[in-house]
Every structure is written in structure tokens, then in C-alpha cells.
Amino acid sequence: MDILLETITTNDHGVIWYLRGGGVWQVLLALLIAALVSFAATPLVKVLSVKWGAIDVPKDDRRMHDHPIPRMGGLAIFMGFLAAVLLLVPLDIPKKGMLLGSIVIVILGVFDDKYALSARLKFVVQIIAALIAAFAGNRVTVLSNPFSSSSVWQLGWLSWPVTVIWIVAVTNAVNLIDGLDGLACGVSTISSTTMLIIALLVSETDVAVVMAALAGACIGFLPFNFNPANIFMGDTGATFLGYIMATMSVQGMFKMAGLISFVVPFLVLGLPIFDVTFAVIRRVSHGQNPMTPDRGHIHHRLIDMGFSQKQAVGVLYLVSAILGLSAVVLTVTNFSRALLFLIAMGIAVLVAWQVFRGHEKALEKQRSAAPEERAEEPGPAGPEPSSAPAEAPADSPEEEKDDG
């Protein structure tokens, strides 16, 4: 706390202005407006989802619910976010580009939640949305050299592919962790709150208000999305949340100095980034398309270890909060940045190792239990015993069918 207070008092006047109330009320108002609009809109969106047929029907073992549930709830999150931003944030060209790109993402999500679009089509549209943001000025043009505090790397034309890859990757990363009730929405709340705090500390006024709007919209939706969920956010919400966080990180965190510009964005979004990275590696190593869905995500593995949905979500909330706290501490103090980074990554790797190790044990246990269950299954009932000697029975057609 002493280090934090010392950093705040020696920082520029923007932070002092926030802490004395000049900007904190704007942030709180954005959070409140977004939460109220999102909360009020969710029941209406639920009715709309049912009317349009945007229903998630459990049809494979990747889904954790056992009955149809309306999706497209992300439309309510978008409404809450948009209301707060339009009322409280001055819209310069980069933010107009961000909003225009987010509208493209939301429209894509709505159609995907209803019609289940192909992965290739979604990928192309996401690239278009990322290019809209990039053309509006949301680009990673400079990266600070992590090995030297006095030099930077000018990306030049590489700023375009780097920005597009970052935005599309984070957009899909948040979507991929949307597998348990409240998981993606809660993790996005933690990540956006972390970005909000960091923006306050580095005097990024508009970024702070935008992230407050995003966090508030998530908070308003969460009561309907906690287990057992009444509505899912669907691709409409998950891709929208990922897109906004990726774009706003380009506007804010990548412009910070030194090692922070590398570490902080990956810490804030560490959980979804890790999950999507491992998913791609896992699928490619098995000769599959990287976009092929499977049941190997970290939340699936926690369930296979014996955790309930609420317990698994709680564990992942904790991991996300630890990474977010590390990002905040890394931002406000120069003390042992590399050590903090290593500790945070060590925790993430340790949790991941335990999860994957437990998943393999669970699979082995299931495989060993399956033959025993088949051996204990009773065979077909035979004829009642008779006093007369019975002839040798012929092979039963039923038994032949079971063997096949």
C-alpha cells in the first residue's frame, strides 16, 4: 500500500484528479448506467431469442446443460455498453472505429447464434471488424523494448498484421472459454475491471470510462447467467467482449513504457489467451483443424476432475483475479517487475499442470471402469428351470446383435 500511495502521489496530475473525485464519478456513472440497461434488457432479449429461435440445444458432450436455453444474451450486454459510452465518452475517430467494428461483431454473433455459421465465414468477418478498428487508428505502432528502457521498436507496416492478429485472437479467446454458466462473463468482468484500474493509474480517462461501461454491462447480465443459467450470452456476447477488450488494450496498455507494454495485456487477458493457445496446439498436434470444437478446454478438464460447474467457475475466477492483480501491481511500481511476472506465470502454469494431470487421471479411470461395467451387465434371462432334460440351445440372435 505504501508503494502504491507513493506511486500515485508522484504520478502526473491526472491520477490525483481521479482519486479526488474529478473522474471517479464519471467512471461510477458509466458502470451504473451500463449495469441497469443490461439488467433491464436481458429479459427482453431472452423473449426475443426464443421468438427468433436462437436456442442452445444440448447435442454433444461439450455442452454442460441438459435442456434448451436461449442464447444471444450478449445483445443485452451490448445495449448496456453502448448506452453508457454514447452518454459519457467523447467519440474521437479511434472510438468511432471501435464502435463500428463492434456493431459488425454483434451482427455476426446474432446470425451465428441463430444459424450456426461456418468457422471460416466468422473468421473472415472478424478480420474485417479488426481492420475497421485498425483503419480508425487503433493500431500497435510502437512496442517498448523489454530489454532496454530507452529504446522502442517501430513496427511500421507490421502494425497492421500485429493489430489484426491481436484483436482476432482475443476475440476468439473469450469466445472459447464461454463453456460454463457465468464463466466468460465473469472473467470478462474481472479483466475489464483490471483494465479500468490500470487506466485510472496511467491517466487514460476515456479508456477507464469505456472499461467501466463494459464491466457494468457484464455485471448487469451476470444474475441471469450464473449457474443454473436462464440465458447464455452466445457468440453475440463472447466475441463482443473479446473485441472491445482487445481494441481498448491497443488504445491504452500497449502504449505504456518498458516491460509493462509486453506483460500487462497478457496478464489481464491471461486465462483466455492461455486456453486458446493450448487449444490450437492440442488440435494441430492431433492433425485437426485449429477451429474444430472439442472437449479439451480448461473448464472441461476441471469438470472431468470432479469439480461442479460452480466450483470450476470459482477456480477460474481466482486464476483470472490473480493475473489481474499482478498486472495492477506491475503497473504501479517498479519493484521486481520480472519477479512478479514469473510468479504470476508460475501460478498459471502450476494450475494448468494440475488440471491437465487430473484430466488424464480421470480419463484413465473412466477407461478402466468401462470394461468392469460391461462385465457386470446381466445377460438375457434364460428359460425357467424344467424337470425335463433340455436340449442344447442354439445361438441367440439377440446375443449376436449385441456383440456387433
pLDDT at 400 > cutoff 50: no
pLDDT at 4 > cutoff 50: no
Each residue's pLDDT tens digit, 165-174: 999 999 998 8
**Pair 356, 301: CB distance under 8 Å:** yes
Rounded to two decimals, the pTM is 0.77
Each residue's pLDDT tens digit, 216-243: 999 999 999 988 889 999 999 999 999 9
Q: Distance between CA 94 and CA 135 in Å, rounded? A: 8
* pLDDT tier, 371 (very low <50, low <70, confident <90, very high otherwise): low
Q: Which of 94-98, 206-210, 274-278, 363-367 has the lowest mean pLDDT?
A: 363-367
* pLDDT tier, 213 (very low <50, low <70, confident <90, very high otherwise): very high
> What is the structure's pLDDT at 372?
57
pLDDT at 34 > cutoff 60: yes
pLDDT at 376 > cutoff 70: no
Instruction: Indicate the angle between helix axes 234-251 and 205-225, nearest 10 degrees.
Output: 160
- The proportion of the chain whose per-residue pLDDT surpasses 70, expressed as a percent, equals 67
Terminal-to-terminal C-alpha distance of the chain? 69
Q: Is 376 or 403 the better-scoring residue by pLDDT?
A: 376
pLDDT at 261 > cutoff 70: no
> What is the structure's pLDDT at 41?
97
Residues 370-378 have a mean pLDDT of: 56
Each residue's pLDDT tens digit, 180-194: 888 899 999 999 999
> What is the structure's pLDDT at 315?
84
* pLDDT tier, 340 (very low <50, low <70, confident <90, very high otherwise): low
pLDDT at 401 > cutoff 80: no
> What is the structure's pLDDT at 9?
42
Q: Is 246 or 178 the better-scoring residue by pLDDT?
A: 246
The domain locations on the chain are: 2-258
> What is the structure's pLDDT at 310?
85
> What is the structure's pLDDT at 140?
83
* pLDDT tier, 68 (very low <50, low <70, confident <90, very high otherwise): confident
Each residue's pLDDT tens digit, 73-90: 999 999 999 999 999 999
> What is the structure's pLDDT at 303?
74
> What is the structure's pLDDT at 7?
41
> What is the structure's pLDDT at 13?
44
269 Cβ partners below 8 Å, 6+ apart?
170, 173, 191, 245, 246, 249
> What is the structure's pLDDT at 397?
37
Joined grid coordinates for residue 91:
467519440
Q: Is 19 or 342 the better-scoring residue by pLDDT?
A: 342
Q: Is 371 or 210 the better-scoring residue by pLDDT?
A: 210
pLDDT at 352 > cutoff 50: yes
pLDDT at 347 > cutoff 90: no
Q: Is 292 or 106 the better-scoring residue by pLDDT?
A: 106
> What is the structure's pLDDT at 330?
75
> What is the structure's pLDDT at 3?
36
Residues 117-128 have a mean pLDDT of: 94
- Of the ranges 50-59, 142-151, 338-347, the best mean pLDDT one: 50-59
Residues 315-331 have a mean pLDDT of: 83
